[in-house]
Amino acid sequence: MSRVPAGRSVHVRVPASSANLGPGFDSVGLALGLWDDYVVTTSDEPGLVIEVTGEGAADVPTDERHLVHATMQHTWHALRVEPPSGLRIVAVNGVPHSRGLGSSATAIVAGVVAAQALSLGVTPDVTEPGDAEPYAGWPAAGDEVPIDLGLATHLSSELEGHPDNASASALGGLTVSWMPDDSGHDHGERTVTARIEPHPDVEVVVFVPETQLATRTARAVLPATVPLAAAAAGAGRAALLVHALTADPSHLHAATRDWLHQEARRPSYPDTMDLVDQLRSQGHAAVVSGAGPSVLVLTTREAAASVQAGRLAPHWERLTPGVPSHGATVSAC
């Protein structure tokens, strides 16, 4: 296989995301304007150098276990190209870790698009191993490097196990996604995402606690089956959710009611559910952000100022990150 050339460098930016939004379990995602930044550089000197600052820096591994690095290796294998001899990753993390804001999906998407970009012009399946020939079309510093965001969404969703966070981080805005199952009834083999533009009056308020919660812990308490009535109710509200977010925000409170996952997880984050209960009792469309423990409120620009944590405020950081209209970007350095 041809090898990714030395001497290439890219700047990657990927936004955070919130998933589920109440009834859209494992299918609906929303990009949030909190960003992870990476500069990834290839070299001909063997080895790996990783530098991390920002959110979670003290707990992030700086060896082959780093999620961006591991994802890049996976992506190069999928693209059938040889990784470079040496790699340097400089990360500035802006997405809080283990807070239900899609930090793992953000890192995975970053790894996929970085690997794609650094492979630009490299031809797979060369019979003799060795470095690829120089690519005349490599962009000038500051110019965008073309990437396949559909492939990025699919590979990231496979690694995540579900497409909601990954699709929103890759594409920005509001996304509804599904992954082909093994029944043979779905057409195609890739994750499919419908990217939808939110209503211009929709605003988001996020409350982030100091405590963390691993996604695997939150998912472990979910039941394997749910009653038919709960599934039917959830399907109706999920359909209403898309309408409320894109056409009529007045339905947001009703559209964010959930029967599938939030109550089952209440023992895992009682403070989160206390805040959700408090906000919903005031008429705000509050939900658990992803697997928690952050709380997301879907509201309007006019009403956003009234969304406050009240008596629970000392334990929560209030953010208004906005919903970016684009997702992952890559530029040459």
Q: Which residues lie below 8 Å from residue 100, measured CB to CB, with a gap of 6+?
A: 18, 19, 213, 215, 288, 289, 290, 291, 292, 293, 294
What single-letter amino acid sits at 205? V
Q: Which residues lie below 8 Å from residue 220, measured CB to CB, with a gap of 6+?
A: none
Find, among 34, 13, 331, 14, the residue nearest to 167 by Cα.
Answer: 14
**In a 3-state reduction of DSSP, which class is residue 124?**
coil
pTM of the model: 0.93
Residue-wise pLDDT tens digits, 39-90? 999 999 999 999 999 999 999 999 999 999 999 999 999 999 999 999 999 9
198-319 placed in CATH 3.40.50.970: no
Q: Could you give the CA distance from residue 162 to residue 123 in angstroms, rounded to a whole number?
A: 30
Residue-wise pLDDT tens digits, 297-320? 999 999 999 999 999 999 999 999
2-177+324-332 placed in CATH 3.30.230.10: yes
Q: Could you give the CA distance from residue 34 to residue 15 in angstroms, rounded to a whole number?
A: 5
Q: Give span(s): CATH 3.30.230.10, the chain.
A: 2-177+324-332
Q: Could you give the CA distance from residue 194 to residue 151 in angstroms, rounded to a whole number?
A: 14
Cβ burial of 62 (10 Å; 0-12, 13-18, 19+) is: middle
Cβ burial of 124 (10 Å; 0-12, 13-18, 19+) is: middle
Residue-wise pLDDT tens digits, 101-128? 999 999 999 999 999 999 999 977 544 4
